[in-house]
Amino acid sequence: MIEHIETHTDRKHLQSCIELAQKGDRAVFPNPFVGAVLARGEQLLAQGYHIKYGSDHAEVEALRAFGNEETVPPDATLYVNLEPCCHHGKTPPCTELIIQRGIRRVVIGALDPNPIVGGKGVQYLRSNGVDVIEAADPSPFRILNCRFYTFHQLRRPYVILKWAETADGFLARSDNTSRWISSESSRDLVHKWRNEEASILVGTKTVMIDNPQLTVRGRQSTLVPPLRIVLDRSGVISRAARVFDDSAPTMVITEVEDLKVFPQHVKVVKVSSLDDIKGVLNVLRDQGIISVIIEGGSLLLQSFLQSGYWDEIRRFKCPLEFKAGIPAPLLINLPASQHNTEKKFGCREQLYIDRKDGEGIDLCQTLVNPTTLNFLGGES
């Protein structure tokens, strides 16, 4: 049994763990964001965070910062936003190091959802005389690692749906001549979002009409680009499409047997039906993809909405009006678990972005699936 008793000092240091963990970026995937603090009462002794996949965990970084040869005070506490691991993976178990360094009290934000750990780290520490305290409210720590919890407990990637629509509710003109609805500043924000996720997914029509490169550009550029995923049911997309260039790895998911003639950096995965959204997400999970941002057209976005397999909507509502065109996805008539009304979606944030073109502002809304809020422990 894990104790749920924490002091004001404990909560303060756990908050510091969250802030440290947030210094990590996509380089940690498929690992979680983790920060660790070694403290003696209010006194901060050392801290650290997980920097990238395969590198030392946050607990190791914090204890190294304290000094590998230094004796940890017997009344010191180690704070970690996630349960310490107890298995040999890319690195040795953190639980063994904690015991070796003589730490007698550990406070964690939440249990690790990975079944390899899943409470075993706490059990191991307690069986070796370590006092382990879990935060009374684990939801902030689960939300921090929403991708990690979704991947391990729901067995799928964390799914973000992104689109821009006009004030009168259209994604594009009927003839697809309207390439940009959102402003340049809004598109810069999209590149920031891309840089935060493991993959970017589009459908056949988006590639054939827009020919996007689907990379991270500008000041948000990264040396390790997210995986580009293309759904191509019949294998009709030209091999000259920019999404197949060598600026980033690409995966094609298709219904065609032996789809070939691709460069080495393009992987092809066959599925029985692209209409099976859960099946597509199973493919991504099997590839170790912890999150995906969907940037497809109206049909693809609506299919994810209808399936219920989505976690966030990031929607730009722009001041332009088309009067007619391709309608934006509708947030009505969705599964009952999603409350069937836009007003009941959890709105995490709203941003007002100056278009700088004399056309007014873009309203950027982040809406959260009520099912996701309940799963992570947030409030709807």
How far CA 43 is from CA of 14, 78, 328, in Å, comes to 14, 12, 53
Q: Sheet of 361-368: strands edge to edge?
A: 266-270, 250-254, 227-231, 199-203, 291-294, 158-165, 312-317, 361-368, 346-354
Question: Measured in whole angstroms, how far is the alpha carbon of residue 54 from the centre of its chain?
Answer: 18
In the block, which residue shows the tokens 């809020």?
Answer: 373
Tokens of 91: 């690195």
Rounded Cα distance between 210 and 177, Å, is 10
Strands of the sheet with 77-82, listed across from one edge: 43-49, 35-40, 77-82, 105-110, 131-134
16, 42 Cβ separation under 8 angstroms = no
Q: Which of 59, 83, 134, 295 is catalytic?
A: 59
- C-alpha to C-alpha distance for 296 and 305, rounded to whole angstroms: 12
Radius of gyration of the chain (CA): 23
Q: Is 59 one of the annotated active-site residues of the chain?
A: yes
With beta carbons less than 8 A apart as the criterion, state whether 284 and 274 touch: no
For residues 261 and 259, what is the distance between their CA atoms, to the nearest angstrom? 7
Dist. CA 251–CA 264, nearest whole Å: 11
Q: Which of 197, 178, 143, 222 is nearest to 314 (CA)?
A: 197
Q: How many CB atoms lie within 10 A of CB 51?
A: 16
Using alpha carbons only, give the angle 319, 325, 326 rounded to the nearest 5 degrees: 100
Strands (E), the chain: 35-40, 43-49, 77-82, 105-110, 131-134, 158-165, 170-172, 199-203, 227-231, 250-254, 266-270, 291-294, 312-317, 326-327, 346-354, 361-368
Under 8 Å between Cβ of 259 and 270? yes
Contact between 22 and 15 under an 8 Å Cβ cutoff? The reply is no
Residues involved in catalysis: 59
